[in-house]
């Protein structure tokens, strides 16, 4: 069994991106600039936003940090998005989700210029991805594809089972894994809350991608020996083993599943670090005009 | 075994659409208007275009018929599309595919205003469909969903296997069947040219949707007894049984597969008639501004 080290790949990619940025600067181009909008001061969101901005600077990007109080109107937020859309200095724009209930997330996502949509959430990017056209890929699925590629994990003709059909992970990763590409070209089954015989279906999987949002849902009896297991879940569970009284767990019962696998992502340190770095990769591509002119 | 009669459903839907159009007219609204652009004079394309226009008139629509010679430039075609996009009298616009090689199909599809894209091929509609937002659904997949709905075929929790991953059938039907809806909520496996053990995978299917483009590819040994089989293929094969010397065949070896099924679509008369009627249904929805304002 080999651990897939997302943290190491993250650092490797940071170095690669930094190198490309330095080359851009040497050629007289401007540094990529990522704008991050946060509404309200939810603790988890603040942690994510700060981490994104910090990593931006680590790879030589500029950042544009916009914070609004939770009671900003939808119209004010949309006006700010329009302003950043029009700002040639900004290459990528993300709005940290979730948003307060009085603001429509779909409206906000669709208001972002798809050419700056480095989260890959705009319908144009989703649609172009489904059609195998160049697009900003959503960060977590793109990060999973990167892990499979860098560990040279064969996907062609393999049975891939995806647990979960969310717009940000399950559905897009099923599209990426089934399309004609490498990694990709897998036979993909997408499962969800209405699926039956989940154990049996999971046991067919050469590659099992779990994004179901239930702590330690996947157990040893759901694993085909030798499978590759990618765990997207992250949950903070009470624990007597740690000083903090908490321990991070994934959607997979790691201790019993890991011995059966050929490869598995740990939690933390597997998929998690790939999400931020994929966002930065998209921002680099935006700054280089490699997806759209 | 029950035959799924696409022709009968087509006629039923024509009557329903006509009734809605007459109501629109009674309320002082204009009739829906579908613009169809054909480039060149490929025989099959001409047949399809003429059939679409004829059915438009049968349901009380107006139509705008634009034909260009095969040597029209891409720029001229795009200019015409821009003109129709801006024409408030036209509700739906389709460009008959395939196009001559000197014209980019993707560029043409993306040039159509997504609010008039009643073929459902624009990335915005593909993306919104994937995200379960209101969208113009591509005609063939929408037609299949309509057949499942009108025959009250249970799909929730069923294993659905899709053969083929094309942008116009396989990929979108896999999205529609897996999303949270009725029909839908199925556990969906998408297979393609790189899939292995196809026979075994097909035999898992409670619902088998075949869009692989190979005549009589699916044989009896690939069918789970009691399965629902939807055959999207249509091929004109030489035959000694008919006066014309040809016979239409699907992707499924009908004679040996049909006795094993609970439901099956014949070829012709199954999925085929649903494609045009789905296009007209989209045009009606466009005329009523029911998808976009």
Q: What is the 3-state secondary structure of A188-221?
A: EEEECCCCCCHHHHHCCCCEEEECCCCCCCECHH
Nearest C-alpha in B relative to A168: B131
Pair A158, A212 in one domain? yes
**CA atoms within 13 Å, Cβ hemisphere of A47:** 3
What integer best gives the mean pLDDT of chain A? Answer: 97
Among B51, B79, B113, identify where a domain stops: B113
What's the rounded Cα separation, in Å, for the pair B91 and B117?
9
State the DSSP code for A225.
T
Instruction: List, for residues A196-223, the tens digit of each pLDDT value.
Output: 999 999 999 999 999 999 999 999 999 9
Instruction: List, for residues B164-200, the tens digit of each pLDDT value.
Output: 999 999 999 999 999 999 999 999 999 999 999 999 9
CATH number where A252 lies:
3.40.50.720
Please list the active-site residues of B.
52, 96, 119
Pair B104, B229 in one domain? no
Please list the active-site residues of A.
52, 96, 119
Is A131–B124 a contact, with Cβ atoms under 8 angstroms apart?
Answer: no
pLDDT of residue B3: 98
pLDDT of residue B293: 86
Band of residue B17 on the pLDDT scale cut at 50, 70, 90: very high
Pair B162, B102 in one domain? no
CATH number where B62 lies:
3.40.50.10860
| 8 Å CB contact between A131 and B126 | yes
H-helix or E-strand spanning residue B283: helix B272-287
Task: Tell whether A291 is covered by a domain.
Answer: no
Contacts A183 to B, Cβ<8 Å: none
| 8 Å CB contact between B232 and B270 | no
Q: How far out from the chain centre does Cα A31 lie?
A: 23
| B223, two tokens | 């069918």
**Mean pLDDT across A248-263:** 98
| A154, two tokens | 């064969």
**DSSP string covering B34-64, please?**
EEEEEES--HHHHHHHHHHHHHHHHTT-EEE
**Mean pLDDT across A217-236:** 97
Pair B147, B257 in one domain? yes
What's the rounded Cα separation, in Å, for the pair B176 and B159?
14
Contacts of A28 (CB under 8 A, 6+ apart): none
Contacts B130 to A, Cβ<8 Å: 123, 126-127, 130, 167, 171-172, 175
Is A125–B130 a contact, with Cβ atoms under 8 angstroms apart?
Answer: no
What's the rounded Cα separation, in Å, for the pair B92 and B69?
22
Q: How far is B19 from chain A (nearest CA, A)?
A: 33
Q: Phi/psi of residue A44, each to 5°? A: -65, -45
Is A185–B192 a contact, with Cβ atoms under 8 angstroms apart?
Answer: yes
Q: What is the 3-state secondary structure of A115-141?
A: HHCCCCCCHHHHHHHHCCCCCCCCHHH
| 8 Å CB contact between B229 and B4 | no
Pair B145, B90 in one domain? no
pLDDT of residue B248: 94
Among B113, B130, B159, identify where a domain stops: B113
What's the rounded Cα separation, in Å, for the pair B6 and B14?
12
Cis upstream peptide for B98 (omega within 30°): yes
Instruction: List, for residues B234-246, the tens digit of each pLDDT value.
Output: 999 999 989 999 9
Task: Tell whether A162 is covered by a domain.
Answer: yes
Sign of CA dihedral A248, A249, A255, A258: negative
Task: Tell whether A18 is covered by a domain.
Answer: no
Is A132–B167 a contact, with Cβ atoms under 8 angstroms apart?
Answer: yes
Among B113, B148, B175, identify where a domain stops: B113
Q: Tokens 């910090």 appear where?
A: A54
What's the rounded Cα separation, in Å, for the pair B254 and B239?
15
Task: Tell whether A66 is covered by a domain.
Answer: yes
- Minimal CA–CA distance to A283: which of A8, A5, A18, A7? A18
What's the rounded Cα separation, in Å, for the pair B73 and A110?
32
- Minimal CA–CA distance to A33: which of A55, A64, A54, A67? A64
Band of residue B266 on the pLDDT scale cut at 50, 70, 90: very high
Q: How far out from the chain centre does Cα A36 lie?
A: 16
Instruction: List, for residues B200-220, the tens digit of each pLDDT value.
Output: 999 999 999 999 999 999 999
Instruction: List, for residues B76-135, the tens digit of each pLDDT value.
Output: 999 999 999 999 999 999 999 999 999 999 999 999 999 999 999 999 999 999 999 999
- 3-class DSSP state of A39: strand
pLDDT of residue B257: 98
Task: Tell whether A71 is covered by a domain.
Answer: yes
Is B167–A192 a contact, with Cβ atoms under 8 angstroms apart?
Answer: no
Q: What is the pTM of this model?
A: 0.96
Q: How far is CA A195 from CA A145, A157, B159, B206, in A?
A: 25, 23, 8, 13
Pair A204, A145 in one domain? yes
Instruction: List, for residues B154-163, the tens digit of each pLDDT value.
Output: 999 999 999 9
Task: Tell whether A166 is covered by a domain.
Answer: yes
Pair B40, B159 in one domain? no
Pair A108, A149 in one domain? no
| 8 Å CB contact between B151 and B281 | no
What's the rounded Cα separation, in Å, for the pair B193 and B170?
12
What's the rounded Cα separation, in Å, for the pair A9 and A281?
13
H-helix or E-strand spanning residue B130: helix B123-130
Is B178–A192 a contact, with Cβ atoms under 8 angstroms apart?
Answer: yes
Q: How far is A237 from chain B (nearest CA, A)?
A: 29
Instruction: List, for residues A22-78, the tens digit of each pLDDT value.
Output: 999 999 999 999 999 999 999 989 999 999 999 999 999 999 999 999 999 999 999
Task: Tell whether A209 is covered by a domain.
Answer: yes
Q: Phi/psi of residue B38, each to 5°? A: -120, 135
Pair A42, A84 in one domain? yes
What's the rounded Cα separation, in Å, for the pair B165 and A213?
28
> Which residue range is the domain that position A238 belongs to?
139-271
What's the rounded Cα separation, in Å, for the pair B200 and B276?
33
| 8 Å CB contact between A251 and A214 | yes
Q: Which residues of A lie inside 8 Å of B (Cβ-Cβ)?
A: 106, 122-128, 130-133, 156-157, 165, 167, 171-172, 174-175, 178-180, 185-192, 194-196, 201
| A52, two tokens | 């994104």
Band of residue B229 on the pLDDT scale cut at 50, 70, 90: very high
| 8 Å CB contact between B153 and A153 | no
State the DSSP code for B291.
S
| B170, two tokens | 């396989």
What's the rounded Cα separation, in Å, for the pair B49 and A33?
48
pLDDT of residue A125: 98
pLDDT at A293 over 90: no
Pair B176, B254 in one domain? yes
Pair B64, B170 in one domain? no
Band of residue B232 on the pLDDT scale cut at 50, 70, 90: very high
pLDDT of residue B54: 97
Pair B149, B66 in one domain? no
Q: Which of A111, A125, A161, A190 to mutate to test the interface with B (most CBs of B within 10 A)?
A: A190
Instruction: List, for residues A91-120, the tens digit of each pLDDT value.
Output: 999 999 999 999 999 999 999 999 999 999
pLDDT of residue A241: 87
Band of residue A7 on the pLDDT scale cut at 50, 70, 90: very high
**Mean pLDDT across B267-284:** 97
- 3-class DSSP state of B71: coil
Is B187–A189 a contact, with Cβ atoms under 8 angstroms apart?
Answer: yes
pLDDT of residue A27: 97
What's the rounded Cα separation, in Å, for the pair A93 and A115?
9
Instruction: List, for residues A161-177, the tens digit of each pLDDT value.
Output: 999 999 999 999 999 99
Number of domains in chain B: 2
Task: Tell whether A35 is covered by a domain.
Answer: yes
What's the rounded Cα separation, in Å, for the pair A195 and A161?
12
- Minimal CA–CA distance to B37: which of B86, B80, B4, B89? B80
Provide the β-strand partners of residue A190: A162, B188
Q: Which of A127, A169, A206, A293 to mutate to test the interface with B (most CBs of B within 10 A)?
A: A127
Tally helices (H) and strands (E) across chain B: 10, 11
What's the rounded Cα separation, in Å, for the pair A71 and A80?
15
Which value does ipTM take for this structure? 0.95
**DSSP string covering A62-87, please?**
EEEEEEE-TT--HHHHHHHHHHHHT-
| A113, two tokens | 């210029």
pLDDT of residue A90: 98
| 8 Å CB contact between A16 and A58 | no
pLDDT of residue B241: 87
């Amino acid at each position: 069994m080999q651990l897939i080290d997302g943290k190491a790949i993250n650092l490797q990619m940071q170095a690669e991106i930094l190198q490309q940025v330095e080359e851009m600067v040497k050629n007289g181009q401007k540094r990529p600039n990522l704008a991050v909008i946060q509404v309200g001061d939810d603790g988890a969101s603040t942690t994510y936003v700060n981490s994104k901005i910090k990593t931006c600077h680590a790879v030589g990007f500029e950042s544009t940090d916009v914070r609004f109080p939770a009671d900003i109107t939808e119209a004010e937020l949309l006006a700010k998005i329009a302003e950043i859309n029009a700002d040639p200095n900004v290459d990528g724009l993300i709005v940290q989700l979730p948003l307060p209930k009085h603001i429509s997330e779909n409206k906000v996502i669709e208001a972002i210029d798809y050419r700056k949509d480095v989260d890959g959430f705009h319908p144009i990017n989703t649609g172009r991805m489904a059609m195998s056209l160049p697009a900003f890929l959503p960060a977590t699925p793109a990060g999973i594809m990167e892990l499979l590629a860098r560990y040279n994990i064969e996907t062609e003709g393999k049975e891939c089972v995806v647990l979960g059909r969310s717009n940000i992970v399950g559905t897009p990763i099923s599209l990426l894994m089934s399309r004609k590409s490498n990694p990709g070209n897998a036979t993909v089954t997408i499962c969800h809350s209405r699926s039956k015989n989940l154990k049996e279906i999971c046991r067919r999987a050469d590659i099992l991608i779990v994004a179901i949002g239930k702590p330690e849902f996947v157990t040893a009896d759901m694993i085909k020996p030798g499978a590759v297991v990618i765990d997207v879940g992250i949950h903070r569970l009470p624990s007597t083993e740690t000083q903090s009284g908490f321990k991070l767990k994934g959607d997979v019962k790691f201790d019993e599943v890991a011995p059966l696998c050929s490869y598995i992502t740990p939690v933390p340190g597997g998929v998690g670090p790939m999400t931020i770095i994929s966002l930065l990769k998209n921002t680099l591509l935006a700054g280089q005009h490699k997806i759209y002119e």
